[in-house]
């Protein structure tokens, strides 16, 4: 995917769901994965011409995973002229060495978000951008249907009452395949899969299921996404914003 196409889809999400307002200070959580790095690239370029001026800050919560290196991310942030902060934690040691969690993902996510939100507040940011893309939206719906028995997925914009931080998701119109293509084309410093839990989660199950559904019924992913856009799920109706 070309940068122009990425910016077009990003702006579509930002405009249709009023994700960026004048004077926003937006943090981008950088995990080292393709999604968050692509998001950083998109928002750093979008600010050059977007009518609402905003500031960016990049933040990495270092879980302490063996082999994880932030130097490539730091170099990219310097290139994009985005201030970069690394938050050192012992999350990996606590979860895998001390607690030896058999299902670590939920606790890890909770601890990681806690550290990220704390850093966001310290840096004076009022919003945080997550790198969730179109496939994530649909996969989350499948997870909710299969394991919770409800029709639900995350919203384009979410206000967190406890922290006063607003979450935005500017990549919701971008497909994962395009993220992969962009990351490869731009040679983004994507970290390898270092977590022991990678490939053994319910999220991976939903991803495999969606891919199989799309192979058997081409276009099913787009149709599910269209159903989400027209649904009663909080935050997805554009009428709520008018």
Tell me the average pLDDT across 223-231.
95
Which residues touch 138 (CB under 8 Å, ≥6 apart)? Answer: 153, 210, 221, 224, 225, 228
Among the ranges given (16-25, 170-179, 185-194), the one the predictor scored with the smallest mean pLDDT:
185-194
Considering only the C-alpha atoms of the chain, give the largest distance between any 2 of them, rounded to a whole number of Å: 50
Task: Report residue 151's pLDDT band, with 50, 70 and 90 as the boundaries.
Answer: very high
Task: Report residue 227's pLDDT band, with 50, 70 and 90 as the boundaries.
Answer: very high
Percentage, residues of the chain above pLDDT 70: 96
Given a cut of 50, whether residue 242 has pLDDT beyond it is no
Domains and CATH numbers, the chain: 3-237 (3.40.50.620)
Given a cut of 80, whether residue 103 has pLDDT beyond it is no
pTM of the model: 0.92
Tell me the average pLDDT across 220-238.
92
Tell me the average pLDDT across 100-104.
74
Which is more confident, 200 or 220?
220
Task: Report residue 98's pLDDT band, with 50, 70 and 90 as the boundaries.
Answer: confident
pLDDT digit string, tens, across residues 114-125: 999 999 999 999
Tell me the average pLDDT across 86-110.
84
Residue with tokens 């196409």: 5
81: left (phi over 0), alpha (psi -120 to 50) or beta: left
**Alpha carbon separation from 69 to 20, 32, 53, 65, 151 (Å, rounded):** 31, 9, 32, 9, 38
Beta pairing class for 24-29 and 127-129? parallel
């Amino acid at each position: 995917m070309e940068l122009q196409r990425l910016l077009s889809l990003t702006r579509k999400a930002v405009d249709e769901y009023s994700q960026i307002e004048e004077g926003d200070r937006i943090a981008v959580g950088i995990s080292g994965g393709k999604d968050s790095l692509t998001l950083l690239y998109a928002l750093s370029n979008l600010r050059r011409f977007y009518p609402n001026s905003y500031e960016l800050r990049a933040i990495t919560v270092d879980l302490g995973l063996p082999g994880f290196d932030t130097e490539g991310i730091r170099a990219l942030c310097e290139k994009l002229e985005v201030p970069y902060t690394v938050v050192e934690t012992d999350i990996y040691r606590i979860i895998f060495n001390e607690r030896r969690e058999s299902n670590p993902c939920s606790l890890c996510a909770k601890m990681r978000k806690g550290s990220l939100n704390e850093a966001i507040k310290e840096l004076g940011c009022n919003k945080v951008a997550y790198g969730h893309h179109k496939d994530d939206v649909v996969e989350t719906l499948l997870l909710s249907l299969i394991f919770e028995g409800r029709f639900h997925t995350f919203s384009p914009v979410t206000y967190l009452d406890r922290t006063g931080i607003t979450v935005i998701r500017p990549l919701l119109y971008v497909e994962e395949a395009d993220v992969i293509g962009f990351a490869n084309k731009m040679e983004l410093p994507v970290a390898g899969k270092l977590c022991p839990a990678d490939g053994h989660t319910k999220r991976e199950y939903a991803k495999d299921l969606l891919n199989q559904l799309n192979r058997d019924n081409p276009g099913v992913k787009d149709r599910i996404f269209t159903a989400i856009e027209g649904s009663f799920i909080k935050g997805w109706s554009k009428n709520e914003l008018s």
